[in-house]
């Protein structure tokens, strides 16, 4: 996965890189089927001037789509966690659509009890 940063100050860059490295490991587990060179992650950090708030925006470029996520928080690490949590949900939903899981209905196994049913003793 190629990772690029923009608009990040030197003071907060270390905190961002540590958190991003941890979160990228999680994303790599979800994105195993893609080649490493075909996946790109671009992040940019903005600070709201009137209040102590950071906004981290992520763009994840996959071979078959582009996903966008933002995370807002008072701390840099917390905004990164929020953005990566959002992008993780989007990746799972994207993979669900690509596999066309919504088309195929799963059948219940016969002889299994439905939730809420109890075994009747004779």
User: Partners of 5 in the beta sheet?
Assistant: 43
Q: What would the pLDDT profile of 6-32 be if each residue is shown by its tens digit? A: 877 777 888 788 888 999 999 999 999
Mean of pLDDT values over 97-117: 70
Complete DSSP assignment for 27-42: HHHHTTTS-GGG-EEE
Q: What would the pLDDT profile of 30-57 be if each residue is shown by its tens digit? A: 999 889 889 999 999 888 888 889 999 9
Mean of pLDDT values over 48-73: 92
**R_g of the chain, CA atoms, integer Å:** 20
Would you state the pLDDT for residue 103? Answer: 74
pTM, two decimals, is 0.77
């Amino acid at each position: 996965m190629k990772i690029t940063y923009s608009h990040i100050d030197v003071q907060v860059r270390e905190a961002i890189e540590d958190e991003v490295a941890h979160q990228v490991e999680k994303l790599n587990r979800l994105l195993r089927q893609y080649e490493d060179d075909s996946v790109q992650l671009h992040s940019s950090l903005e600070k709201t001037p009137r209040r102590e708030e950071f906004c981290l925006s992520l763009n994840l470029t996959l071979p078959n789509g582009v996903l966008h996520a933002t995370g807002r928080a008072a701390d840099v690490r917390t905004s990164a966690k929020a953005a990566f949590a959002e992008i993780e949900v989007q990746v799972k939903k994207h993979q669900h659509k690509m596999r066309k899981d919504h088309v195929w209905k799963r059948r219940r196994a016969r002889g299994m009890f439905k939730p809420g049913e109890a075994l009747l003793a004779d």
